[in-house]
Chain A
Amino acid sequence: EIVLTQSPATLSLSPGERATLSCRASQSVHSTYLAWYQQKPGQAPRLLIYDASIRANGIPARFSGSGSGTDFTLTINSLEPEDFAVYYCQQLSDWCSFGQGTKLEIK
């Protein structure tokens, strides 16, 4: 089983700042099969990034993904008020697993 560890658990930033979220895998993940999701309270998750770096339909350009092997990053440039949420990484190399999430909160 591939275990994903996200850091930090909580990130406190202000609108306009840049957020950098990390996802580390316990073993190498094919970058094609690494995705990121955003979840707001009371809502289903929303796909942001697939194939480690490709934005899903309708996702703003301020969201970007990068990484390979065991280390992946989600970057959100110039935070908007609607970006404050919980973010999860997901690997699909070996069935599926999710990281424990990073809560992005307003400072």
Chain B
Amino acid sequence: EVKLVESGGGLVQPGRSLRLSCAASGFTFDNYAMFWVRQAPGKGLEWVSSISWNSDSIGYADSVKGRFTISRDNAQNSVYLQMNSLTTEDTAFYFCAKEGMARSYDSWGQGTLVTVSS
């Protein structure tokens, strides 16, 4: 069974940093691209970032480019999101997801809440 467990969320002040982790199990992690998607409370889904299986291809939404960094450790079956210079606009649930057929996101974690507030 595929399992994705996010951690690292919490309350942080504007301008500070936070690092999210996503621990994966139940599949061959280094065969798949991984993704981060966020959802502000009561709002829709917003793609944040993608990383290929070997980290050669990485992409970011314009809203986080230059502030967020995605990375992965295939030995640890984990993907990370380093978030710097956080603003209140970054307050959201952050989900990690796994690549499926035709680049779809076929498995999702339950999310971790990041609240940016003074």
Q: How far is the CA of A29 from the CA of B95 in the complex (A)?
A: 24
B102 touches A35 (CB 8 A): yes
**What A residues does B45 contact at CB under 8 A?**
37, 39, 45, 88, 90, 98, 101
**What A residues does B110 contact at CB under 8 A?**
43-44
Q: How far is the CA of A45 from the CA of B104 in the complex (A)?
A: 12
B59 touches A92 (CB 8 A): no
**What B residues does A95 contact at CB under 8 A?**
47, 50, 59, 61
**What B residues does A99 contact at CB under 8 A?**
44
**What A residues does B95 contact at CB under 8 A?**
44-45
**In the assembled complex, A27 has its CB within 8 A of some CB on chain B:** no
B46 touches A92 (CB 8 A): no
Contacting residue for B100 out of A45, A50, A100, CB 8 A: A50
B108 touches A45 (CB 8 A): yes
B111 touches A47 (CB 8 A): no
A90 touches B104 (CB 8 A): yes
A92 touches B108 (CB 8 A): no
| Size band of the interface chain A makes with B | 20 to 34
A50 touches B35 (CB 8 A): no
User: Smallest distance from the beta carbon of A26 to chain B beta carbons, Å?
Assistant: 15
Most chain A Cβ neighbours within 10 Å, of B59, B61, B105: B105
**In the assembled complex, A32 has its CB within 8 A of some CB on chain B:** yes
Interface string of B11-42 (1 = CB under 8 A from A): 00000000000000000000000010100000
**What B residues does A32 contact at CB under 8 A?**
102
Do A54 and B101 contact each other (CB < 8 Å), given the known contacts A1-B62, A44-B108, A45-B108? yes
- Chain B interface residues (CB < 8 Å from chain A): 35, 37, 44-47, 50, 59, 61-62, 95, 100-106, 108-111
- Chain A interface residues (CB < 8 Å from chain B): 1, 32-33, 35, 37, 39, 43-47, 50-51, 54, 56, 88, 90, 92, 95-101
Between A and B, 5 residue pairs with Cβ closer than 8 Å are A35-B105, A44-B95, A56-B101, A96-B35, A96-B50
